[in-house]
Amino acid sequence: MSDVLAVVDHRQGALRDVSFELLSAGRDLADATGGDLFVAVVNGPTAAFADEVDREGVDAIYTVDAGEEFDHDVYAGAAVHLVETLEPRILLAPNSVNGIDYLPAVATRLDWPLVTDAVGLELEGETLVATREHYGGKVEATLEVALDGGVAVTIRAGEWPAATGEGAASVEDVAFDLEESANRSRVLGFEAVAGGDVDIAEADVLVSVGRGIEDEENLELIEELAEALGATVSASRPVVDAGWLPKNRQVGQSGKVVTPDVYIAIGISGAVQHVAGMKGAKTIVAINTDPNAPIMDIADYAIHDDLFDVVPALIEQFE
């Protein structure tokens, strides 16, 4: 029997969706071992959050009230403290930007092995079997790790269903000593990245361009297509990183979430952080030379061909 401790994620007064998925992942593992599912809420409006995460299958909730927002020193300290007192053998967190800002430190402090960005988790006796994606989603890796000492795991968003139902968990407020020396960083505030001229989230049709375009001057081709279709141009991250398009055109986890009627992905592989921003589009078209590119998994229409041949031909169709 092993218990599971899941630390939920929140920002600016709201729990992140993946937190509820975390509860499902945690419950599945606890069921497999016959253990309990403990949930930790660290910082924020802890009482309200405790209420929200009290879903079916949660056995006990622990709250730590040491600030409003995420602070990795507090999270790391709280996670280590809770692991030492509750003695779970599996520690779960979302693979969010904040999750990866403290869970690796917790694993190191506890001397536990770490599995990040898991898309599947199974228990086989005393072995945790985790599935991850390597090479940008083109290869699936199955990893094994012994549960003996304990394992820290972050899970990918969108892979488990969100937990539902009313729970009847106990709620306990936990205080612990945060070592003075552990406090080496200070969060000063948040800023939203500037909006700019175009809001890609408003567009009905997006022509989205990725690294496959190769060169800044080739963007003209994409702009021509967008014009012919009456569409707006958006992009994957590398195009924005290179400075070829402004940040407000970026689709994805760290860019915008878009839900247009039609999303045409041109020379975009479909990395998980990109897909996070466009999987809600009604119709997805992928133009990519690689038939195995992960974008194909969510595309409704696909052309496995060179964009430099297809795009000019498509422009011609609309002229």
Partner 1 sequence: MNVLVTVTEGATVDDEFRIDGLAIDDGSLTTDLNEWDEYALETAVRLAEADLVDEVVTVTIGPEDCEGTIRQVLAKGADRAIRVWDDALERSEMLDVGAKTALLAAVVETEEPDLVLTGVQSADEGFMATGVSLAAAVDYGWAAVVNALEVDPDERIARVRRELEGGVEERTEVDLPAVLTIQTGINEPRYASLRGIRMAQRKELAVRSLADLGLEASAVESRLRLRELAEPESESEARVLEGSSEEAAAELATVLREQGVGR
Ligand X SMILES: Cc1cc2nc3c(=O)[nH]c(=O)nc-3n(C[C@H](O)[C@H](O)[C@H](O)COP(=O)(O)OP(=O)(O)OC[C@H]3O[C@@H](n4cnc5c(N)ncnc54)[C@H](O)[C@@H]3O)c2cc1C
Question: Of 16, 109, 211, 247, which one interacts with ligand X (CB under 6 A)?
Answer: 211
254 contacts ligand X (rule: CB under 6 A)? yes
Of residues 255-284, those binding ligand X (CB under 6 A): 255, 267-269, 271, 273-274, 277
Length of the chain: 319
- Tell me which of 52, 229, 244, 279 binds partner 1, using CB under 8 A: 229
Give the 3-state secondary structure of residue 252.
coil
Q: Please identify, using beta-carbon distances, which residue of 180 and 191 lies nearer to ligand X.
A: 191
CB of 172 to partner 1, least distance (A): 27
Q: Is 247 in the site for ligand X (CB under 6 A)?
A: no
**Closer CB to ligand X, residue 97 or residue 146?**
97
Q: Which two tokens stand for residue 167?
A: 């729970």
56 binds, among ligand X, partner 1, none (CB under 5 to 8 A by kind): none
Check if the beta carbon of residue 293 is closer than 8 Å to that of residue 136: no
Q: Which of residues 114-143 bind ligand X (CB under 6 A)?
A: 136
Q: Which listed option, partner 1, ligand X, none, makes contact with residue 76 (CB within 5 to 8 Å by class)? A: partner 1
Distance CA(123)–CA(130), nearest Å, equals: 9
59, amino acid identity: D
- In the bound state with partner 1, the residue whose beta carbon lies nearer, of 50 and 314, is 314
Helix (H) or strand (E) holding 86: helix 72-86
Whole-number minimum distance, CB 286 to ligand X, in Å?
9
Question: 74, 67 in Cβ contact below 8 A?
Answer: yes
Task: Give Cα separations from 191 to 74, 188, 217, 249 (angstroms).
Answer: 22, 10, 32, 18
Tell me how far, at minimum, the Cβ of 317 lies from ligand X, in Å: 18
Instruction: Classify strands 37-42 and 127-134 as parallel, antiparallel or unpaired.
Output: unpaired
Contact of 222 with 209, CB cutoff 8 Å: yes
> 106, 98, 103: which is closest to 11 by C-alpha?
98
Give me the amino acid identity at 138.
K
Residue 169: CB minimum distance to partner 1, A: 27
Q: Work out whether 257 is an interface residue with partner 1 (CB under 8 A).
A: yes
φ, ψ for residue 235, nearest 5 deg: -155, 165
- Which parts of 70-89 interact with partner 1 (CB under 8 A)? 72, 76
**Minimum distance between the CB of residue 251 and partner 1, rounded to whole angstroms?**
11
Residue 220: partners with Cβ closer than 8 Å, 6 or more residues away: none
Residues 102-121, mask of contacts with partner 1 (x by CB under 8 A): xxxxxxxx-x-xxxxx----
We find the least distance from the C-beta atom of residue 59 to ligand X, in angstroms, to be: 32
Per the CB < 8 A criterion, the answer to whether 266 and 212 are in contact is: yes
Hey, is 167 helix, strand or coil? coil
Q: Does 158 bind partner 1 (CB under 8 A)?
A: no
Site for partner 1 in 198-217 (CB under 8 A): 205
Q: Which residues bind ligand X (CB under 6 A)?
A: 136, 210-212, 236-238, 250-255, 267-269, 271, 273-274, 277, 287-290, 293, 306-308
